[in-house]
Amino acid sequence: MPIGTFPALLTLAIVVTLVSGAWLLINARSVAALFRDKAKSGRNEMLAGPGKRAQPHGRVWLFLVLFNLGWLTCIALWYTVASGVGNDVVKSHDPSVQRPY
């Protein structure tokens, strides 16, 4: 595996997490509507005021899954590198590096 693989994967996971997290914050009304208890509707529940139209539930679930996959991937990559397993997988192909073998 090339030496830049772990940093590239970590960067991709961070970007996915940040973009999906920002989308979830911007569309917080849709996230709240996804988890709203339909059985309690109408009983002393606060109603949402006028605002942007809600996003489809499928899109909200997609961004929730992407957000969670992104941060879990970051933790898995960090653990792989910190435990030393990443050192065994990465092979440098730089001809200028002197090797003892």
Q: pTM for this structure?
A: 0.75
CB-based contacts of 73: which residues, under 8 Å, 6+ apart? 9, 13, 16
Q: What is the pLDDT of residues 30-62, one digit of tens each?
A: 888 888 766 565 565 656 566 777 889 999 999
